[in-house]
Amino acid sequence: MTTTPSDPAASLPGRPPVVDLATWQAARDELLTREKAHTREGDAIAAARRRLPMVEFDGTVEVVGPDGPVPFLDLFQGRDELVVYKHMWHDGAPHQGQCEGCTTTAWHMKDAVYLNARGVSFAVLTTGRWDEVAAYVEFMGYTQPWYSVRDLDAPVGDSMGSVTCFLRDGDRAFLTYSTTGRGNEPVNGSLGLLDMTPYGRREGWEDTPEGWPEPPEAGAPVGGHGSPICWYWRTDAEGNATWGPTSRPVPQWTRPGATPVDSLGRKSDPH
């Protein structure tokens, strides 16, 4: 059941107008036309992506995992396709000092069952030393395979903070696609859901209605980034979004031993 305000002034300050269901549906249908066009363009881009040229590389190059060095071809696990996320790494930093964006992305890919069912394997690659990586993987509770690609060249060991796709044909391996920045967003389903909510992500770059709640710390330097982009990727022990010395990547607060800290633990951290 819906209600229609008898007084237009009943609209909430700083919010879109309050209307009856029929008026809302008309506006929703108009937006749907744009959404469908966006979807069709996305389909066309995906079709072009499937037609990108490939780069062949040496699939016998070794990466380091829990069982020691293994050839890169092993990451396919017998399947023909492989998607990897390349996790940034800060040497010597404790768990709370590792990359918050990469932590969030990897957290959203704790289970690759649907990829596996379609003949696609998934792994996380990072440049960290394996002893540090192994401790971090155990702390986070990750179940997907992780490997160190320290000191390896492209296309296996470059461009951390990216999603990269590979194809296998017998003993031959090919690079097919790679993306970074906001191109990684499909991995993080939470961002798509936030885009559907009234307040959105509440990031500084978003176009929001006049009077909409401002992003936390809007206009102030945040963790040295200069704007509150992705401010919610780190919180303190109380769940308050912050990039200060007591913060850590949000997924870590659910991990055993994720107690409050007083430093990010990075060499560049002034605290």
Q: What is the pLDDT of residue 224?
A: 39
**Residues of the chain falling short of pLDDT 70:** 1-14, 216-229, 267-271
pLDDT digits (tens, 9 = 90+) for 153-178: 999 998 899 999 999 999 999 999 99
Beta bridge partners of 251: none
Predicted confidence at residue 95, as pLDDT, reads 94
Is the pTM above the cut of 0.85?
yes
In CATH, 55-183 is 3.40.30.10: yes
In this prediction, residue 263 carries a pLDDT of 85
Predicted pLDDT of residue 166? 98
Give pLDDT, residue 7: 57
Q: What pLDDT shows up at residue 5?
A: 55
pLDDT for 132: 97
Q: Give the residue extent of every domain in the chain.
A: 55-183
What pLDDT score was predicted for residue 232? 84
Q: What is the pLDDT of residue 1?
A: 52
